[in-house]
Amino acid sequence: MIDWHTTLGIAAGALPLIAIVPYIKDILHGTSRPNVASYSIWVFLLLIAILAQISAGASWSVLMIIGDLVGTSIIVILCLSGYGYGKYGLLEWVCLALAVVAIILWYLTKQPVVAILFAVIADLMAAIPTLVKSYRDAWSELPTTYFIIAVGALCAVLSTTILNPANLIFPVYLLAVNGLTASPAFFGRRMTPNPNV
């Protein structure tokens, strides 16, 4: 018999995959051009978070991060197929350095939570330009995608049967960062006309 933790965990894993469908549509129509450098780093950071969570004793909340990893990997494949662009700036190098530091500290301290915290810091640094862009130019971001991922993260938080930092840090972070990205885009679109029409 499937309990509510399992149901929420499965939903948490499925929602990030559902969330990328409208984003993929935008990419294929040329209205969105993701940065392959940023998305490649996010794949790396999500992988760190998954492995660290599993090593600490994963609960159902890990399914959300796995779903996000699959969706983000699909975006990277599209970028490499000519639908994205490559731009490696200081921010990308700093995020990559933080990811490497996360792995080294995890190896030295044997504390997976340390790796997860560094992955969150690196991810947040990579997300800040998108947060700012969502606020300044609401029509440049698709709020639906971020809202669905935020709901998936909430499901992940509620699904966990192991209440510890390793199982909660990354889903709580994803809930916050995606909610903060979606909100200004959603409300900004209601206050300003679409410049693309």
Domain ranges of the chain: 4-190
The confidence score (pLDDT) of residue 85 equals 80
Report the C-alpha gap between 83 and 73 in whole angstroms: 14
Q: Model-level pTM? A: 0.89
The confidence score (pLDDT) of residue 1 equals 65
The confidence score (pLDDT) of residue 22 equals 92
Question: Residue 166's closest CA among 48, 71, 67, 73?
Answer: 48
Task: List the chain residues with pLDDT less than 50.
Answer: none
- Concatenated DSSP letters for 26-80? HHHTTS---BHHHHHHHHHHHHHHHHHHHHHH--TTHHHHHHHHHHHHHHHHHII
Look at the block and give the residue holding tokens 């991060």.
Answer: 65
